């Protein structure tokens, strides 16, 4: 009887494991959508990256008192595109306070967009942008 119970238990566990292997649920994350971008997930990511780079280059101005003769400095801005498509800064590190303020101002001027999506619901998307001066 002891062997029969062990065999039955093993048999049930095997069937259960096989049933779980056959059931697959795929959740696809959709990244935030920059205004005017469309297409597949990869196309949306590429469009976002290209537009973010263009935005940073076109909208960056050096602080009035910044001297280009100073040693190179790096400012790192971490932010999210929140569940309503707006930018929220989570941290700014490195560089002088003036460079940090300008980098933060640049990121905060990113246009509102369609938020990212995970499992059918809006989700925060995290990004890190380094500025090297």
Domain spans of the chain? Answer: 29-132
The answer to whether the CB of 16 falls within 8 A of the CB of 8 is: no
* CATH code of the domain occupying 29-132: 3.30.2420
| pLDDT tens per residue across all 133 residues of the chain | 444 443 333 433 444 444 444 555 455 689 999 999 999 999 999 999 999 999 999 998 887 777 766 678 899 999 999 999 999 999 999 998 989 999 999 999 999 999 999 988 999 999 999 988 7
Contact present, 113 and 33 (Cβ < 8 Å): yes
Q: List the beta bridge partners of residue 91.
A: 78
**Which residue is it, tokens 């005017």?**
36
* Chain centroid, CA 17 distance in Å: 34
């Amino acid at each position: 009887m002891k062997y029969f119970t062990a065999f039955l238990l093993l048999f049930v566990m095997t069937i259960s494991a096989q049933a779980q292997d056959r059931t697959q649920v795929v959740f696809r994350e959709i990244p935030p959508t920059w205004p005017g971008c469309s297409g597949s997930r990869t196309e949306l990511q590429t469009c976002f990256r290209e537009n973010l780079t263009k935005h940073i280059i076109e909208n960056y101005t050096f602080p009035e008192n910044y001297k280009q003769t100073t040693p190179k400095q790096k400012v790192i801005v971490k932010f999210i595109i929140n569940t309503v498509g707006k930018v929220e800064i989570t941290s700014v590190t490195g560089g002088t306070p003036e460079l940090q303020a300008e980098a933060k101002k640049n990121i905060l001027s990113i246009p509102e967009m369609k938020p990212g999506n995970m499992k059918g619901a809006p989700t925060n998307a995290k990004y890190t942008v380094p500025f090297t001066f």
